[in-house]
Amino acid sequence: MTAFQRARSEEQREIRRQAILDTADAMLNEMSVADISLNELSRRTGLAKSNVLRYFESREAILLELLDRAWRRWTADLPAQLDAGIDPAEPVSRRGDRFAAAVTASLVERPVLCDLLSAQAGVLEHNVSAEVAARYKRAAVANVGAMAALARHHLPELGDNAPQLSAAMIMAIGAVWTHARPSEAMLAAYEADPSLAIYKMDFAAHLRDMLATLTAGALARASS
C-alpha cells in the first residue's frame, strides 16, 4: 500500500489517477469484475474511498476506463495475429473461419478483457453520469471501428457489413464468457444430472463456432 500526499498540481493529479487505474488493473488479474470493490481499491492505493471518488465518480467509471484500455491494447495486437492466421489466397469461406479462429485465440489470452466485456452493458454502463457514459461509448464506437477495419482488410467481401459484424462479435464475446463460467450451483446441477451438461460451454470452442457463424452470415448477406 502506498501512502500518497495530497495532489496539488495537475501533473500530480494525473499521477494519482493513473495509480488508481493501475491498481484496479492489477486487481482484475486476481479477481473477477464482480469482486472488485472500492473499499479494497482504496486500501491498496492508500487513499480514502472519498479520495478515490475525487478522481473517478464510481467503481464503474474506473472499470469502463480499464475496459477501453484493454480493448485498445487488444486491437493493437490483433493485426499481427490475424496476419499470421489468415492466408489471403484462400477462399472467402476459409478466410472467414480463420478470422473467427484467430480472434478467438487472441481472446483466450485476455480473460480480463472478456470479463469486462461481459459486464459492459449490464453492470459497467450503470452508476455513471451521462458524461462518463458518452465518453466511454465514443471510445467503444472507435474500438468497434478498428475491429471493422481489420475484418474488412482480411474479408473485403464484407463491404459495408464489417461494422455490424464487429459489433455482433463484441456482444457474442461477452455472452459466451458469461455462460462459460457457470455458478457453483449450476456446476453441481451438471454433475448431478449429466443430461444438463450439454449446456456447459467451453469458452474457446463455443466462441469460435459462434464467431464463425456470425462471419459466415455477414458474408452471405453481403453477397446477396
Q: Tell me the three-class secondary structure of 159-182, residue by residue.
A: HHHHHHHHHHHHHHHHHHHHHCCC
Task: For cell 492508500, name the residue.
Answer: 46
Give the separation between CA 44 and CA 23, rounded to whole angstroms: 7
Q: Which three cell numbers stand for residue 88?
A: 489471403
Percent of the chain past pLDDT 90, that is, above it, reads 90
**pTM of the full structure:** 0.91
Confidence of residue 3 (pLDDT cuts 50, 70, 90): very low
CA dihedral 33, 48, 45, 71 (to 10 degrees): 40
pLDDT digits (tens, 9 = 90+) for 78-100: 999 999 999 999 999 999 999 99
Q: Which three cell numbers stand for residue 108?
A: 483466450
Tell me how crowded residue 24 is: count the other CB atoms within 10 A of its CB: 22
pLDDT digits (tens, 9 = 90+) for 103-144: 999 999 999 999 999 999 999 999 999 999 999 999 999 999
Residue 103's nearest CA partner among 117, 89, 119 is 117
Q: What separation in angstroms does the CA of 195 have from each of 154, 189, 190, 192, 200?
A: 40, 10, 8, 9, 10
Is the pLDDT at 161 greater than 50? The verdict is yes
Please report the domains of the chain, with CATH numbers, ordered by start residue.
1-56 (1.10.10), 58-223 (1.10.357.10)
Query: Angle of helix 130-154 relative to helix 92-108, nearest 10 degrees?
Result: 140
